[in-house]
Amino acid sequence: MGENSPMRIVLLTRLNRGLPLLFLEEMQSDSSATLCGVVYERNVPSRGLRFFARKLIRYCRMGAPLTFILNGLSFLWRSLEFPPAHRQQEPSLRAYCVERGILFLEVDAINGEQCRKILRDLAPDLMVSAGNRLLKRSVFAIPPLGTINLHTGKVPDYRGGPPFFWELYHGEETVGATVHFVDDGVDTGPIIATGEFPILPGDTVNSLKERIIPEGARLLREAIHRLTLQGFSPVFQPACHEPPRRMPSDWQCLRFFLKRLGRRKKQGRQ
């Protein structure tokens, strides 16, 4: 990146809608950075029974076979129902990029050699990761300035996932959003920007996602702006010896449901 030239950015994602589209909209009016491409991990049409058997075994080891089944049924329901009204006109990521002349490239695997070659050819100064699995060092270290990620949670207390579940489970009054550098850990990299938002009465994981993800896109833009400022330094996270959050067990999901149900009944009586 030259002294007066805008920062070159690549968006790396496996999401077809939502955060990537919101982020691209935010960057349309940012003159401090230029988007040199979007790299998208295409969805695998069919992964076979062996893949789902391995995933079921993993959920059973976590004590969450029922959660696996319910997630599968939820996925089937979401694929059949109509999208929310505000998303009915939302284009796909590819359509958005084609319409605006943004380079759109598809890869089979984000951590694969094909993706690494594309990223080296694009030669970005900074990479933005949106909704990806854990990136290997051979990918996130390609840009000279590194790779940044939006984590929907406060760190270090709510590293990992799933997003917003554990804050609701523990009865927190707020949820956080954190833009940080990607490193070898799970949401452990230096912090560039943070946001904190109230949990409203009746909020669910989905309602929080609908409200916080747009704020997260704005936070990503703010983080990129901060990185263009001379003298800016990210904040290293305090040491945390607790493992990152993971998928809740069936018992934790049941306990969460009963707690929420009791809270709603109490509010109804008031």
CATH number of the domain bearing residue 225: 3.40.50.12230
pTM attached to this predicted model: 0.82
Q: Residue 256 domain-assigned?
A: yes
pLDDT of residue 78: 46
Closest CA to 128 of 202, 224, 53: 224
What values do phi and psi take at 39, rounded to 5?
A: -110, 120
User: 2 lies in a domain?
Assistant: no
pLDDT given for residue 243 in this prediction: 86
Please give the pLDDT value at position 253.
75
Q: Compute the average pLDDT of residues 40-53.
A: 64
Q: Which whole-number Å values give the CA distances from 210 to 31, 71, 78, 118, in the listed order?
A: 28, 19, 15, 32
Task: Please indicate, yes or no, if residue 180 is contained in any of the structural domains.
Answer: yes
Enclosing domain of residue 231: 7-269
Q: Domains in the chain: how many in total?
A: 1
Express each pLDDT in 79-89 by its tens digit: 444 455 444 55
* In a domain? residue 1: no
Q: How far apart are CA 242 and CA 172, in angstroms?
A: 18
Q: Which residue has the higher pLDDT, 254 or 63?
A: 254
In this prediction, residue 68 has a pLDDT band, given cuts at 50, 70 and 90, of low
Residue 64 pLDDT grade (very low, low, confident, very high; cuts 50, 70, 90): low
Q: In this predicted model, which residue has the larger pLDDT, 249 or 189?
A: 189
Residue 78's Cβ-count burial label (10 Å; 0-12, 13-18, 19+) is: exposed
Q: Specify the range with the lowest mean pLDDT, choosing from 42-51, 124-133, 167-176.
A: 42-51
- Amino acid making up residue 115: C
